Amino acid sequence: MKHYSCWGLIATFLLCMIMIPALADDAGVLSETELNTWISQVMRDSIGEQPLNAPIGEESKTEDGYAFIYSFATIYYDKPVLDANSVIRAIAVTDEAYASPRGILLGSASEILLESYGWQNPDLMGDGSFASFYRLNSLPRAAYWCWAQHDGGKIQSVRCAIHVMAGEDRYTDAGIVYTVHNGEVTGINVYGLSSFVALADVEKNLNSVMSVEAAGSGDELPQTAAPQPQSVADGYFIRSEKAGFSSADLIFSNINYLSFNENDAITLFGAVLDQQSVQDDTGEMLLITQRDGLMFSYTISGDGSRSKLESFSVTKDTLAGPRGIRIGDSTDSVLAAFQSDGQGRVLGNTSILYGDGINSPMGVLEKLDARTKDISYVTTVERDGETVTVTLHMIFVDEKLSELMIYSW
């Protein structure tokens, strides 16, 4: 059995999160962006590595799914054969040297969990069994919470949950559970990567955390999980009459994103510096090629007749992207090149440039920290008879463009 890994397999969780700006990044809580980044690294590390087992048959199915064992982690999928339709459900770290989000390792002292997640409640104040680490209610967009289970102040487990809107009355139910024994982290499990719950379930979870907080403070429990005050982005009030990101922007520098293949890349940019390719049991292949400052990833049919560009990124001033944008361009010049309604609308920590900030078509601006911003433009196009959502995502450091990415699903 050959291992198949591509952006299409990275998880329903990632796919539904990828166009939703994270509200929690500046609040110190575990956000979907942080978890997505780690999951992407797990998938990259699994590329080309043969699973140590072949979980064939229903008898191999666990509560989390079918377990594929790798040298550093066990990855759970929804079926025993990996192909383009496989969905990742959970990940369990097994290598003591493999870091989970925030650098936490198997064998780490439990104090690191307090430092990483429990800084607001280092004394584990709560109901005697549970202690709330944080609760961020940004409903209806998202909610985040984390609590510890303990015995006399000795942490037994920590759970951090992420509920982000993925549709009408549909929220992700993902997160991380850290298991602790004798003061050391003995289990790191990322769960719920293809699980969803209703808004009522999210509110019930928040109320459970609130009850623990109330027990620790002696306050009465509020009747409902009312939204908490949150930091709000500055509105963007500069109006631009330029068109929004569209299919016309997918043709640039002799690249047509919707039809581009590796032969075109060789013609334009020459030989690769590095490449990785893996196949599934049907012969379909994922090909990732890298050149100086450029990376392309494709899915290629088993007979080689069809090739689809899944993602493209540039980190050096190698070529001009959509509308002539280049690495090193200023934030203001890029904003001026695309539509902005100038209404100054915000959604959590995100400034809405146009659209509703959730659904395609849209444009959003987010300040990640004092030095870093990102801009995302999203559109919907037709490719090979299918409707495809395409995102132009740009990262700016010190007001200069440092990375430009285009990806689709």
Whether the bond into 140 is cis, omega within 30 of 0: yes
Distance CA 36, CA 12 (A): 11
Residues 256 and 176 in one domain: no
pLDDT, tens digit (0-9, with 9 covering 90-100), for 144-157: 999 999 998 899 99
Q: Please report the pLDDT score of residue 311 as a whole number.
A: 86
CB 365 within 8 Å of CB 371: no
Residues 169 and 277 in one domain: no
Q: Please report the pLDDT score of residue 22 as a whole number.
A: 45
As a whole number, the mean pLDDT across the chain is: 84
Distance CA 175, CA 171 (A): 12
Q: Please report the pLDDT score of residue 2 as a whole number.
A: 36
pLDDT, tens digit (0-9, with 9 covering 90-100), for 185-213: 999 999 999 888 999 999 999 999 999 99
Question: pLDDT tier at 12 (50, 70, 90 boundaries)?
Answer: very low
* Residue 324 in domain: yes
Question: pLDDT tier at 15 (50, 70, 90 boundaries)?
Answer: very low
Distance of CA 315 to the CA centre of its chain: 20
pLDDT above 90: percentage of residues in the chain: 48
Residues 192 and 245 in one domain: no
Question: Does the pLDDT at position 13 exceed 50?
Answer: no
Residues 128 and 266 in one domain: no
Residues 280 and 174 in one domain: no
Question: SS3 for 250?
Answer: helix
Taking Cα atoms as reference points, which of 246, 224, 193 lies closest to residue 380?
Answer: 246
CB 391 within 8 Å of CB 378: yes
The residue ranking higher by pLDDT, 92 or 54, is 92
Question: pLDDT tier at 43 (50, 70, 90 boundaries)?
Answer: confident
Determine the structural domain holding residue 15 and report its residue range.
7-217
pLDDT, tens digit (0-9, with 9 covering 90-100), for 220-256: 545 554 444 444 568 899 999 999 999 999 999 999 9
What residues are paired with 290 via a beta bridge? 274, 295
Mean pLDDT calculated for residue range 73-102: 89
* Residue 224 in domain: no
Q: Please report the pLDDT score of residue 82 as a whole number.
A: 75
* Residue 359 in domain: yes
Q: Please report the pLDDT score of residue 349 as a whole number.
A: 67
Distance CA 210, CA 222 (A): 8
CB 388 within 8 Å of CB 400: no
CB 246 within 8 Å of CB 388: no
* Residue 18 in domain: yes
Question: pLDDT tier at 348 (50, 70, 90 boundaries)?
Answer: low
Distance CA 172, CA 175 (A): 9
CB 7 within 8 Å of CB 310: yes
CB 371 within 8 Å of CB 398: yes
Distance CA 107, CA 98 (A): 11
Distance CA 76, CA 30 (A): 21
Residues 310 and 384 in one domain: yes
Q: Please report the pLDDT score of residue 14 as a whole number.
A: 46
pLDDT, tens digit (0-9, with 9 covering 90-100), for 116-153: 999 889 999 999 999 999 998 888 778 999 999 999 88
How many domains does the chain divide into? Answer: 2
Residues 171 and 246 in one domain: no
Question: SS3 for 223?
Answer: coil
Among the three residues 163, 185, 217, which one is the final residue of a domain in this structure?
217
Question: Does the pLDDT at position 27 exceed 50?
Answer: no
Question: Does the pLDDT at position 62 exceed 90?
Answer: no
Residues 197 and 244 in one domain: no
Q: Any idea what DSSP says for residue 137?
A: E
Residues 179 and 264 in one domain: no
Q: Please report the pLDDT score of residue 331 as a whole number.
A: 96
Q: Please report the pLDDT score of residue 363 as a whole number.
A: 95
Residues 128 and 272 in one domain: no
Q: Please report the pLDDT score of residue 178 as a whole number.
A: 97
What spatial distance separates the first Cα and last Cα of the chain, rounded to whole Å?
26
pLDDT, tens digit (0-9, with 9 covering 90-100), for 246-255: 999 999 999 9
Q: Any idea what DSSP says for residue 360?
A: S
* Residue 176 in domain: yes
Max intra-chain CA distance, the chain: 70
Residues 243 and 327 in one domain: yes
Taking Cα atoms as reference points, which of 368, 298, 206 lies closest to residue 6?
Answer: 298
* Residue 2 in domain: no
* Residue 345 in domain: yes
Mean pLDDT calculated for residue range 61-83: 88
CB 87 within 8 Å of CB 39: no
CB 290 within 8 Å of CB 358: no
Distance CA 366, CA 352 (A): 9
3-state DSSP helix/strand/coil % of the chain, to nearest 5: 20, 40, 45
Taking Cα atoms as reference points, which of 227, 258, 16 lies closest to residue 137?
Answer: 227
Residues 131 and 268 in one domain: no
Taking Cα atoms as reference points, which of 284, 342, 380 lies closest to residue 3?
Answer: 284
* Residue 54 in domain: yes
Taking Cα atoms as reference points, which of 346, 356, 376, 349 lies closest to residue 364?
Answer: 376
Q: Any idea what DSSP says for residue 8?
A: G
pLDDT above 70: percentage of residues in the chain: 85
Mean pLDDT calculated for residue range 93-106: 96
CB 126 within 8 Å of CB 153: no
